[in-house]
Chains A and B, each alone.
Chain A
Amino acid sequence: MWPTCSRRRFLHGAGGAMLALPTLPSLLPRAARASTTRDRCFISFGTMHGGVWSSNMFPDDSALAHHSTYASRAIRQASLSSIASTSGGNRVLSPVLTGDSSVFSTRILSRMNVIRGLDIPWYIEHHTGGHLGNFASNDGNGVDGVRMFAYPSPTIDQVLAWSDVFYPDISTVVERSVAAGRRAMSWDYASPAVRSGPIQEKYANNSSYQLFLRLFRPSEAYGDLDGALVDKVIDNYRRLRADPRLSSEDGRRLDEHVERLFDLERRLTLEVTCTPTFEGGGTEPALDSHSLTGSATHFRDPASQIQYWQLFAEVVVAAMSCGLTRIATLNSNDTFSDFTGDWHGDIAHQAHLADGVAQAINAAAHQRAFEGVFLDIARRLDEVDTGSGNTLLDDSLLVWTHESGALTHETQSVPIITAGGAGGGLNTGNYVDYRDLDSAWDIEGFHEQGVPGLIWNQWLGTVLQAMGLDPADYESSYTGDERGGYGPVYIGARYGDTYDNAIPVAGEPLPILV
């Protein structure tokens, strides 16, 4: 139900004057498009640093067999079910991809993909935005990173969030997307409804209970606030908007905020009748994630860190099962380790050393993240029956990505672990390797070679297509590039012509997966 003070009335302004705003896609007649998609959900889980040796991260190479020639390389594939083994009650794909068989079941396994050979082909160093396509969100500790500051983009979760294809009807949706953690990995326009304003980081919820309230009790947080009062507040903004002394830039900021008030008004009218059962049998979460972070030991207690994310997973999956949201990003800067020193200096940047001491700690931490967070989310999704023989996991795409590849800050073969078939949009059960093994180079001081893969933009485009979008739905969504995939395509100077074969195919969905 739309608020009484509609966008149309506001846009036509006081005295009937038309306000100069960009065309609002939501006001255009919607093209009749037969939807063949189920209500797909997207969850992205990102972890810091990476630096996990390939031998720890990926299944054994010997399992891979030539699948086809693509982009001038032999891409290789293996069935996960043929690779996995069991050991001591665990199901094992690799040292990191190991989990208790009761959770890491054959069913979950069959719905996973292990993807190797997608690269961010320039020096991005520390970043939060690279996972989902805002490459500008990096620390600028490199010429390439500084260069990319000029190309901020919404992340793909936000492209989905504001897509009429992904969300043809938001009448029962409380939040188009949610972000969890202490910082977000999600970026969008300051005024997402009209796709205008600067690209800014999305607000991240550090409290799973607050997130629960936002999703399940959206109108209860505001006391006696009602739509009529918000209408009056919007009127007040409109009066200021009409002031002739107001600059156009100031006016844009006002317009952005009015959009937020419209959304607030919408939330006041929402009545959520879905009442899932939470852990312990209650109608709300028994514990708040934020309470864990107050402990002085949380940041070196992997069990507490895992619990933090499981509390979010509980709320997110419950909300998705109720259709209250369909997109969530979980950005973790936890170590998932009891290491008490400086993780960044003592582990992440020592993990390449041949003695393997730091690597062992690093790999173990990533295994905990896999088992405690990734598999937990997959399990929860798979426990939701959506009918017709499917579960929410079948209808969803859960993605785990690292900040770096096998060598911290280098972004060849950044691991991508997925679960879920995206409602039929993605094939599952595969270990795929897109690297061009004939173009490898030696890395001084590191036992692994650098091997170029396909570019990250192609992976992002594949996700968007798997979730039901056509390239035309998203290629205009960013300040970017026409060469395909999602986001600006840039190849760092140090790579020369290494990725020349990968660029022409960047707009195609990844073979084997789609």
Chain B
Amino acid sequence: MAPRTTPLLLAFMVGCSPSVAPDKSSTDPPDTTGDGTGTGDDGGTGSGGDEGSGDDGGGGDDGGGDDAGDCEPTGEPTRPPLRRLSHSQYKNAVSDLVSTFLGPEIGESDWLAYKWVDEWALLLPVDLPTGSPEQTRGGYRRLDQDVFQQHAEAWAVIAMGISDEFQLGHVWTIEGYFEHDCSPFGDRSCVDRWIRAVGPQAHRRPLTEDDVDHYLSVYDDTYDAWIADNPGDGWQATDRGTVAVTAAMMMSPWFTHHVELGDADAGDDVLTAHELASRLSFHFWQTAPDAELMAAADDGSLLDEAVYEAQVRRLVADTRTSDALADFFDDWLITDHIPAMHARVGTEPYDDFSDGYTPSADLHKAMAEELRELGIWHTVTEPTDFETFFRSDLVLTDHHGLAQLYGLSVPWSGEGDPPVTGDAARAGLLTRAGLLATGSASTRPILKGVFAREQLLCQPMPPPPDDVNAVAPAPSDTQTTREVVETLTEVEGSSCEGCHKSLINPLGFATEGFDALGRPRSMEVLYNSDGIPVGAAAVDSQTSVFIDGLSYDVADAHDLTTVMLDSGQAHACFARNQFRFALGRMEHTDSEDCTIEELGEALASGLTLDEFLVTVALLPEFKRLARPGGE
């Protein structure tokens, strides 16, 4: 399985000077399992085409760099076997199902919301950002496919909790469902009818007679068991029987998992209409198909290309897509790594650096929300193309403190057009506070560089050499942060120089025109070891960045933004990430890199982001049942 990312993965504070290994000649280590590959010089997951790495873009699922090259798909993609619903998907599907079982007033009730927050949140394991096995940063929560004992138990507890809550009302609820045309009390055929009516939503497909028989047996067994102990208590027996059916449906594999078996009559890799409906709905809305989508699946019209596209557009246009997009931007931009900004308030040099601005305890959360809202705005609220999003100067925050960092005295009210930042130096996404702020008085060019390289250009970094001793660049009273980093990591001939000088540092240096709270600056205050300011030095954001094998001189964040966009790599990387998110798996580079390249080109040609979402859902890959592979 893919290793999990942890907050400590931002340990890329590399200082390479100390030698910590014995002075031994390099020899191959003893073999471990007889694979005979020797030492780890296969660590190159380096991106194809970048300067000096010489490694290919990676086969399999390592998310290799977005380089142009031969585009002849080979091999076949695989999918994780029998995917479970993600945490968000399960929660939403339960709420919608409750509305079906017990009425919308229950499904949208405070009671249900309260139960989620107060009780069930601790029971159901959270999903963790997950990527390829080689990926140690980033990833998507919806790709997390670990299943624990706690999942089985949480699904059981929630199913019974919901069913039990309305135990004495099930009979009435069912009567109401049928507008008192039928009552399960004393009428088993009504139970049958109810199972057939609500079961399809739980299964997300029509029930078979075998399914109906199964749930009737659940009802019968429970009913009979109660009557055996409580003769004559038909009312309770009926209630308990229907409760058991409710719970059993919610615990069935068809509810808790994405069961995709395909349409054998149509071909090995063809999804059924209902499976397609589920894919669409769980991708865009993170919940089960609504009535309209189910109807299109029921009558098979969803398999018609025009009907399918119309449904895709309907889903994209619905406000429910915003929640899924929020998850996407959170994971893509790794917003959970934005550190708290208030931890060092009251200490030096942080207070001096803050210079009258006091970061609040929730500032980092506001920064994360701003990034989400930016993405949602440009995708579905007021759709634009990718470049407009990437360069956007809109400030979509209602947080006073964050608005101040953008030079605004008044935050956005949420109504009307959002304000734009007053800082001429701002260059869009790269200069968003959430991607610059560090929670300390010092910027972190290395982390910024790694983020830009991996998350925005999709070029995985090769692992550091084994003799690295990760030492954070210590603040200096004579050198700027950039100079400290250069001194530590760009020593000529050192094992650090290659990656830092070409791949990492320049991407971080270009935004050094912003301080560690994300405020524009031209000077960097220098502090002594006691946190006392002792001087200032001019910030230098000029650098040369390597992208796609070419070197570009950039003066600042504006130039870097332009270079990243003009190279097409930013577009391609966004496309790759959207592909992963939409399909719920890592791409198969050999067979799907061509598709992703085309998606990137479409973005670069000016396709709006909402249309891009439609485009992804229209891909054959989205509609195809890949063969299952290993985790």
Interface residues of A (CB under 8 A from B): 48, 122-123, 125-126, 128, 136-147, 149, 151-152, 183, 190, 197-203, 206-207, 210, 221-225, 228-230, 232-233, 235-237, 239-240, 243, 245-247, 249-250, 252-254, 256-257, 260-261, 263-264, 267, 290, 296, 300, 333, 340-342, 344-346, 349-350, 352, 407-410, 439, 441, 443-446, 450, 452, 479-481, 483, 488-498, 503
**B122 pairs with A257, CB closer than 8 A:** no
Q: Determine the chain B residues whose CB is within 8 A of the CB of A494 once the complex forms.
A: 21-22, 24, 26, 466-467
**B244 pairs with A229, CB closer than 8 A:** yes
Q: In the complex, A190 Cα to B217 Cα: how many Å?
A: 31
Residue of B nearest to A263 (CB): B149
**B26 pairs with A493, CB closer than 8 A:** yes
Interface string of B1-41 (1 = CB under 8 A from A): 10110101101110001111111111111101100000111
Contact of B254 with A by CB under 8 A: yes
**A151 pairs with B33, CB closer than 8 A:** yes
Q: For residue A296, give the distance in angstroms from its CB to the closest CB of chain B.
A: 6
Q: Determine the chain A residues whose CB is within 8 A of the CB of B152 once the complex forms.
A: 257, 260-261, 263-264
Q: With A202-B148, A350-B474 as given contacts, are A138 and B3 in contact (CB-CB < 8 Å)?
A: yes
Q: With A249-B81, A493-B28 as given contacts, are A142 and B468 in contact (CB-CB < 8 Å)?
A: yes
**A349 pairs with B471, CB closer than 8 A:** yes
**B40 pairs with A146, CB closer than 8 A:** yes
Q: In the complex, A260 Cα to B257 Cα: how many Å?
A: 15
Q: In the complex, A441 Cα to B222 Cα: how many Å?
A: 72
**B160 pairs with A450, CB closer than 8 A:** no
**A342 pairs with B439, CB closer than 8 A:** yes
**B23 pairs with A441, CB closer than 8 A:** yes
Q: Which of B258-266, B407-415, B585-593, B607-615 contacts A (4 or more CB under 8 A)?
A: B258-266
**A146 pairs with B43, CB closer than 8 A:** yes
Q: Determine the chain A residues whose CB is within 8 A of the CB of B214 once the complex forms.
A: 232, 235-236, 239
Interface size (B, Cβ < 8 Å)?
Answer: 99
Residue of A nearest to B37 (CB): A147
Contact of B104 with A by CB under 8 A: no
Q: In the complex, A69 Cα to B469 Cα: how many Å?
A: 33
Contact of B136 with A by CB under 8 A: yes
29 intermolecular pairs with C-beta atoms under 8 Å apart: A126-B11, A140-B134, A140-B463, A143-B41, A151-B32, A190-B146, A190-B147, A198-B631, A210-B122, A224-B160, A224-B163, A229-B244, A233-B251, A239-B214, A249-B81, A249-B630, A250-B81, A260-B151, A300-B343, A349-B470, A350-B472, A410-B20, A443-B19, A493-B26, A493-B40, A494-B466, A496-B22, A497-B24, A498-B24
Q: In the complex, A450 Cα to B264 Cα: how many Å?
A: 63
Interface residues of B (CB under 8 A from A): 1, 3-4, 6, 8-9, 11-13, 17-30, 32-33, 39-43, 45, 81-82, 122-123, 125, 133-134, 136, 146-153, 156-157, 159-161, 163-164, 167, 210, 214, 217-218, 221-222, 225, 240, 243-244, 247-248, 251-254, 259, 261-262, 264, 339, 343-344, 346-347, 361, 439-440, 463-472, 474, 627-631
Q: For residue B36, give the distance in angstroms from its CB to the closest CB of chain A.
A: 13
Q: In the complex, A240 Cα to B469 Cα: how many Å?
A: 52
Q: With A249-B81, A441-B22, A446-B18 as given contacts, are A236 and B11 in contact (CB-CB < 8 Å)?
A: no
- A203's partner among B125, B440, B627 (CB-CB below 8 A) is B125
Q: Determine the chain B residues whose CB is within 8 A of the CB of A200 once the complex forms.
A: 1, 146-148
**B32 pairs with A264, CB closer than 8 A:** no
Q: Determine the chain A residues whose CB is within 8 A of the CB of B161 once the complex forms.
A: 223
Q: In the complex, A507 Cα to B72 Cα: how many Å?
A: 50
Q: For residue A300, give the distance in angstroms from its CB to the closest CB of chain B.
A: 7
Nearest 8 Cβ contacts at the A-B interface = A496-B24, A143-B40, A345-B472, A223-B160, A494-B21, A249-B81, A441-B22, A143-B43
Q: Determine the chain A residues whose CB is within 8 A of the CB of B440 once the complex forms.
A: 341-342, 345
Q: Determine the chain B residues whose CB is within 8 A of the CB of A407 once the complex forms.
A: 20, 469
Q: Determine the chain A residues whose CB is within 8 A of the CB of B81 once the complex forms.
A: 247, 249-250, 252-253
Residue of A nearest to B250 (CB): A233
Q: Determine the chain B residues whose CB is within 8 A of the CB of A239 once the complex forms.
A: 210, 214
**A141 pairs with B18, CB closer than 8 A:** no
Q: Determine the chain B residues whose CB is within 8 A of the CB of A495 once the complex forms.
A: 21-22, 24, 29
Q: For residue B403, give the distance in angstroms from its CB to the closest CB of chain A.
A: 22
**B18 pairs with A445, CB closer than 8 A:** yes
**A340 pairs with B347, CB closer than 8 A:** yes
Q: In the complex, A141 Cα to B8 Cα: how many Å?
A: 11
Q: Determine the chain B residues whose CB is within 8 A of the CB of A240 once the complex forms.
A: 253-254, 259
- B466's partner among A253, A296, A493 (CB-CB below 8 A) is A493
**B252 pairs with A245, CB closer than 8 A:** no
Q: For residue A350, give the distance in angstroms from its CB to the closest CB of chain B.
A: 7
Residue of A nearest to B263 (CB): A245
Q: In the complex, A183 Cα to B164 Cα: how many Å?
A: 32
**A246 pairs with B261, CB closer than 8 A:** yes
Q: For residue A75, give the distance in angstroms from its CB to the closest CB of chain B.
A: 20
Beyond the given pairs A263-B152, A444-B18, 16 more chain A to chain B contacts, judged by CB atoms under 8 angstroms and listed by A's residue number, are A122-B466, A137-B3, A141-B470, A142-B463, A149-B3, A203-B148, A210-B123, A223-B161, A225-B157, A233-B252, A240-B259, A245-B261, A247-B628, A260-B147, A344-B8, A407-B469
Q: For residue A202, give the distance in angstroms from its CB to the closest CB of chain B.
A: 7
Q: Determine the chain A residues whose CB is within 8 A of the CB of B32 once the complex forms.
A: 151, 480-481, 488-490
Q: For residue B102, give the distance in angstroms from its CB to the closest CB of chain A.
A: 15
Q: Determine the chain A residues whose CB is within 8 A of the CB of B18 once the complex forms.
A: 443-446
- B248's partner among A137, A152, A232, A439 (CB-CB below 8 A) is A232
- A147's partner among B42, B160, B163 (CB-CB below 8 A) is B42
Residue of A nearest to B79 (CB): A249
Q: In the complex, A125 Cα to B319 Cα: how many Å?
A: 44
Q: In the complex, A10 Cα to B29 Cα: how many Å?
A: 46
Q: In the complex, A140 Cα to B3 Cα: how many Å?
A: 9
Q: For residue A139, give the distance in angstroms from its CB to the closest CB of chain B.
A: 5
**B122 pairs with A206, CB closer than 8 A:** yes
- B147's partner among A142, A151, A256, A488 (CB-CB below 8 A) is A256
Q: Determine the chain A residues whose CB is within 8 A of the CB of B42 once the complex forms.
A: 146-147
Q: In the complex, A226 Cα to B509 Cα: how many Å?
A: 62
Q: With A152-B1, A222-B156, A491-B30 as given contacts, are A198 and B630 in contact (CB-CB < 8 Å)?
A: yes
Q: For residue B371, give the distance in angstroms from its CB to the closest CB of chain A.
A: 21
- B4's partner among A201, A252, A333 (CB-CB below 8 A) is A201
Q: Determine the chain A residues whose CB is within 8 A of the CB of B470 once the complex forms.
A: 125, 141, 349, 408-409
Residue of B nearest to A346 (CB): B472
Q: Determine the chain B residues whose CB is within 8 A of the CB of A250 once the complex forms.
A: 81-82, 628
Q: For residue A137, give the distance in angstroms from its CB to the closest CB of chain B.
A: 6
**A496 pairs with B30, CB closer than 8 A:** no
Q: For residue A164, give the distance in angstroms from its CB to the closest CB of chain B.
A: 20
Q: Determine the chain B residues whose CB is within 8 A of the CB of A350 once the complex forms.
A: 471-472, 474
Q: In the complex, A198 Cα to B247 Cα: how many Å?
A: 29
Q: In the complex, A145 Cα to B42 Cα: how many Å?
A: 11
Q: In the complex, A257 Cα to B22 Cα: how many Å?
A: 48
Q: With A198-B630, A224-B243 as given contacts, are A123 and B466 in contact (CB-CB < 8 Å)?
A: yes
Q: In the complex, A264 Cα to B150 Cα: how many Å?
A: 9
**B43 pairs with A147, CB closer than 8 A:** yes
Q: In the complex, A37 Cα to B152 Cα: how many Å?
A: 33
Q: In the complex, A128 Cα to B29 Cα: how many Å?
A: 24
Q: Determine the chain B residues whose CB is within 8 A of the CB of A141 once the complex forms.
A: 9, 11-12, 136, 463-464, 468, 470
Residue of B nearest to A48 (CB): B8
Q: For residue A10, give the distance in angstroms from its CB to the closest CB of chain B.
A: 14
Q: Determine the chain B residues whose CB is within 8 A of the CB of A497 once the complex forms.
A: 24, 27
- B150's partner among A203, A252, A256, A498 (CB-CB below 8 A) is A203
**A480 pairs with B33, CB closer than 8 A:** yes
**B163 pairs with A223, CB closer than 8 A:** yes
Q: Determine the chain B residues whose CB is within 8 A of the CB of A352 once the complex forms.
A: 471
Q: With A198-B630, A225-B247, A349-B472 as given contacts, are A340 and B344 in contact (CB-CB < 8 Å)?
A: yes
**B30 pairs with A503, CB closer than 8 A:** yes
Q: Name which of B164, B210, B343 has the most chain A CB atoms within 10 A of its CB.
A: B343
Q: For residue A258, give the distance in angstroms from its CB to the closest CB of chain B.
A: 9
Q: In the complex, A143 Cα to B28 Cα: how many Å?
A: 13
Q: With A229-B218, A444-B17, A480-B33 as given contacts, are A254 and B122 in contact (CB-CB < 8 Å)?
A: no
